[in-house]
Amino acid sequence: MEYKLLGRTGVKVSSLCFGTMSFGGNADAKTSADMFHRCRDAGVNFFDCADVYVQGRSEEILGKLIADCRDQVVITSKVYFSTGKGVNDGGASRYHIVRAVEASLRRLNTDYIDLYFIHHFDETTPLEETLSALNDLVRQGKILYIGASNYAAWQVAKALGISRQHAWARFECIQPMYNLVKRQAEVEILPMAISEQVGVISYSPLGGGLLTGKYGADKRPESGRLMENEMYRIRYGDQEVYRIAEDFTELSGEVGIHPVSLAIAWVNAHDGITAPIIGARNTDQLEPALAAVEVDMSPELYNRIAALSPEPPLATDRNEEATDFEANIRK
């Protein structure tokens, strides 16, 4: 297992982060424990969670599993989505954040959370209020670092500017979606993260199962997120992504690498990625994900995979600047 610095924090984290969304849901307590210990055996020290995962059950299970190795792991949790029926049981207001972090600390059975994310941009709460509340929690020692999930690049940049202006704790990590068929992060999010030395733990490297080898232009499994979950059906509803999945599966067979390992390794090869978040329902599913660190992702292989899906346009739409534009002008 390779270890990377998380942004500019000085903290070293494994190049794979295990997402615990399945804990207490698709994975019962025993299966969750088996996956956690398998990750630890493989050298994973980075575990991602959220207060809304299985109504808090995921945090409770993770809290029990880290009890005897708390000082050897880096754990995250998140706040934003509603955790109750009250009108203030969600969002990124100070009112909700200070209550949510206390509830997460209880469920995780820990005195502090290493990395605490705002799970989604809150359009109704000023960033100043959100960042001020998070800064107070850092000063109190209840969280060590803060991050943002599902933010646009401009929203992160605005937050970094506010934090710098007030000398507050800043976002040290972001969590965008990123995989072979969802490459929008390449346009501004990842370049921004590199420029500002912000860590990136990207989610959904397998596209909700799309890139596992089970899907193709005319191929569907009997079960899976894309078959059962409306959110994923909408997210990956374009028929073109299934053609890409089929081509990707064929390429993985050609090079003799499991499609799960190859898809995760491709994401991890981007300079802006600190660690893709992997997930599984059981240890059998987990193995090829862990094997991603063994893939020799040469520039040639990386480019072959990238060529399977459309490259997103430049942020300015000046596509000519992707070529040697200045040299052509001088001719």
User: Which positions are annotated as active-site residues?
Assistant: 53
Bridge partners (DSSP) listed for residue 47: 18, 75
How does DSSP assign 289-310, residue by residue?
HHGGGG----HHHHHHHHTTSP
179, 263 contact by CB (below 8 A): yes
Q: At residue 36, what is the residue type?
A: F
Asked if residues 58 and 20 have their Cβ atoms less than 8 Å apart, the reply is yes
CB atoms within 10 A of CB 55: 13
Distance CA 271, CA 202 (A): 12
DSSP 23: B
C-beta of residue 200 within 8 angstroms of C-beta of residue 176? yes
CA gap 137, 114 in Å, rounded: 12
Q: Running DSSP on this structure, what letter comes out for residue 4?
A: E
d(CA 304, CA 269): 13
